[in-house]
Amino acid sequence: MNQEEFFKKITAHAKEYGFVFPSSDIYDGLSAVYDYGQNGVELKNNIRQYWWKAMVQMHENIVGVDAAIFMHPTVWKASGHVDAFNDPMIDNKDSKKRYRADVLVEDHIAKIEDKINKEVEKAKKRFGDAFDKEQFVSTNARVLGYKQEIEDISHRLYVAMENNDLAGIKQLIEDLGIVCPISGSRNWTDVRQFNLMFATQMGSLAEGANEIYLRPETAQGIFVNYLNIQKTGRMKVPFGIAQTGKAFRNEIVARQFIFRMREFEQMEMQFFVRPGTELEWFKHWKEERLRWHLSLGIPAEKYRYHDHEKLAHYANAATDIEFEFPFGFKELEGIHSRTDFDLSSHSKFSGKKLQYFDPETNESYVPYVIETSIGLDRMFLAMLSHAYTEEKLEDGSERVVMKFPAALAPYKVAILPLVKKDGLPEKAREIMEQLTPDFMCQYEEKDSIGKRYRRQDAIGTPLCVTIDNQTLEDNTVTVRDRDTMEQIRVNADELYNIIRNKIAPKRV
């Protein structure tokens, strides 16, 4: 199965099993907007809680906030979003399709990377066990040529983007002979800047309407509350403020399902530190955040850092944690050392002093900030694509199983009476009642036990508990493991601990 087919299967599965639906589906959807169904909302809530617990509950010096989506319009002047939250766009005159100009170039680079990968694959076959990848990619003439080509293109793109040289980006697209994937033509418009913020009006028109924006990131809601929280919470630097919530971006090209949406959710934490210590803290959070991902038990090869060479004007270090999605390694989370840019800028625009008096050094300063920012929907997609597994079983049948980390699975346990009679449903419900205050349980009595197991596999329930006649005699049940399909017989009183152990974070 190639990557495209695999991705199609995931999207279809997500819809069929109540994880993700297109928004306003009965009206044929709304581009790049999605709704989460009965299983999706559980998975999403679990990811959010897992994050909140790790960031807020497990850190004495991190507290939460829930700021409004609407904010004073000057916030976005101060943050730089009004002037600089732009993407360069370009239209193809024949297909009338719109693209992000920089993404067209990046896709072109990805094609050259594919060529390198193909050379590596070919050589691997040729040399067999003796193959040394490092040596091959650093000496093979063809690969070196491709690498040089990538470097030249990346450099030209970087310089043009840095200097806001829109004509230069267009020239690059023309020089590379990039064609529109739909029309196949090179008939491009000029490159223009496009601001990604959604604007709306607040107040009735008679009162004199005020243009405001839907927040494009949750971070600013944290910065404008810095002083309120530092004072009322008597917070001492270093400390952090965490927030989860919706953000809105009018993405030019929204594609790849929930990877790039126009309405999405972020989980962000801004960590305020003493100036001069920010790079140490940057390193700390970079490691800490990767550890969080690994604590879910997902193989480390699925993740990699991508350190930024090109830094935003406000940052002095930045890295992405990339995840291997079905369409390759892509950004899942960003960790940025944002200096004192945000607080200083808000001080300037609001006229309020956003400082910290450090009792240890007896001085006042504007704290520096380390930000960790992860897209909840992107994390959801990472989990969906990691979990989706097709398996051939010993008896020749097949199953689709969602191997979600147990802590995130929508339901932790399915309660299944073997048959719908002989007092088994009543006993099953009695056992379930003991578990529902602590765990999401699903009761199912319809169809054969095999079919019920398959349905639970398809939504990723880690444990199935079967109640049979013997349960009535000695209170024992069968517990079936989703991944190994092994079954054990235990006393129903042990279920609580078994489930707890199953969903506990892995130590890394």
Residue 452 CA to residue 474 CA, distance in Å, equals 24
Phi and psi at residue 46, in whole multiples of 5°?
Answer: -65, -40
By CB under 6 A, the residues from 182 to 211 that bind ligand ATP are: none
Give the residue with the Cβ less far from ligand ATP, 149 or 322.
322
Q: Can you give the length of the chain in residues?
A: 508
Q: Looking at 74-82, 220-228, 259-267, 412-420, which segment touches ligand ATP (CB under 6 A)?
A: 259-267
| Cβ-closest position to ligand ATP | 375
Which region, judged by CB under 6 A, interacts with ligand ATP, from 160-168, 277-285, 327-335, 468-476? 327-335
The distance of closest approach from Cβ of residue 218 to ligand ATP in the complex, given in angstroms and rounded to an integer, is 9
The answer to whether 303 and 275 are in contact (CB under 8 A) is no
Give the range of 92-100, 115-123, 326-334, 485-493 binding ligand ATP by CB under 6 A.
326-334
| Number of neighbours of residue 486 by Cβ within 10 angstroms | 8
CB atoms within 10 A of CB 359: 9
Please tell me the distance from the alpha carbon of residue 140 to that of residue 424, in angstroms, as a whole number: 68
Q: Does 333 interact with ligand ATP (rule: CB under 6 A)?
A: yes
35 lines the binding site for ligand ATP (CB under 6 A): no
- 374 vs 415, beta carbon nearer ligand ATP: 374
Output 375 or 462, the one with its CB closest to ligand ATP. 375
Nearer to ligand ATP, 342 or 377 (CB): 377
Q: With contact defined as beta carbons under 8 Å apart, do 459 and 408 qualify?
A: no
Rounded to a whole number of angstroms, the minimum distance from the CB of residue 499 to ligand ATP is 30
Cβ 34 vs Cβ 22: under 8 Å: yes
Distance of closest approach, residue 375 Cβ to ligand ATP, in angstroms: 3
Q: Is 322 in the site for ligand ATP (CB under 6 A)?
A: no
Measured from the CB atom, the residue of 241 and 432 that comes closer to ligand ATP is 241
Q: Which stretch binds ligand ATP (CB under 6 A): 120-128, 258-266, 270-278, 280-288?
A: 258-266
d(CA 75, CA 349): 8
* CA 177 to chain CA mean position, Å: 33
For 448, the 3-state DSSP assignment is coil
Q: CB-based burial of residue 412 (10 Å sphere; 0-12 exposed, 13-18 middle, 19+ buried)?
A: buried
457 binds ligand ATP (CB under 6 A): no
Residue 157 or 374: the one with the smaller Cβ distance to ligand ATP is: 374
Question: What's the number of CA atoms in the CB half-sphere (13 Å) around residue 12?
Answer: 7
288 binds ligand ATP (CB under 6 A): no
Which of 251, 358 has the CB closer to ligand ATP? Answer: 251
Instruction: Name which position in 241, 332, 335, 441 contacts ligand ATP (CB under 6 A).
Output: 332
Segment contacting ligand ATP (CB under 6 A): 104-112, 332-340, 457-465, 492-500?
332-340
Q: Does 373 bind ligand ATP (CB under 6 A)?
A: yes
Q: Is 375 in the site for ligand ATP (CB under 6 A)?
A: yes
293 binds ligand ATP (CB under 6 A): no
- Under the binding rule (CB under 6 A), the answer on residue 42 touching ligand ATP is no
266 binds ligand ATP (CB under 6 A): yes
Distances (CA, A) of 457 to 307, 378, 489: 38, 22, 20
**String marking each residue 377-406 x if it binds ligand ATP according to CB under 6 A:** xx----------------------------
Kindly identify the residues of this chain, within the stretch 206-225, that bind ligand ATP according to CB under 6 A: 217
Computed on alpha carbons and rounded to an integer, the radius of gyration of the chain in Å comes to: 26
For residue 43, which of 507, 460, 498, 414 has the smallest C-alpha distance? 460
Cβ closer to ligand ATP: 42 or 320?
320
What separation in angstroms does the CA of 182 have from each of 5, 166, 179, 250, 326?
19, 23, 9, 22, 22
- Determine if the peptide bond prior to 505 is cis (ω within 30°): no
Sequence-distant (≥ 6) Cβ neighbours of residue 135 within 8 angstroms: none
Which two three-digit tokens encode residue 109? 């680079």
CA nearest neighbour of 65 among 276, 195, 235, 212: 235
Q: Which of 108, 260, 452, 502 binds ligand ATP (CB under 6 A)?
A: 260
DSSP 8-state secondary structure symbol assigned to residue 506? P
Smallest distance, ligand ATP to C-beta of residue 300, A: 19
Q: CA nearest 16: which of 482, 443, 388? A: 388
Smallest gap, in angstroms, from Cβ of residue 354 to ligand ATP?
22
> 């095999």: which residue's tokens?
450
Does 251 participate in binding ligand ATP (rule CB under 6 A)? yes
Does position 286 bind ligand ATP by CB under 6 A?
no
Minimal distance in Å, beta carbon 333 to ligand ATP? Answer: 5
CB contact set of 397 (below 8 Å; sequence gap of 6+): none
Quick one: which segment of 40-48, 77-85, 137-145, 372-380 binds ligand ATP (CB under 6 A)?
372-380
Stretch that binds ligand ATP, among 150-158, 165-173, 329-337, 417-425 (CB under 6 A): 329-337
CA distances for 285 relative to 50, 107, 321, angstroms: 17, 30, 11
Which residues here bind ligand ATP, judged by CB under 6 A? 217, 249, 251, 260-261, 264, 266, 331-334, 373-375, 377-378
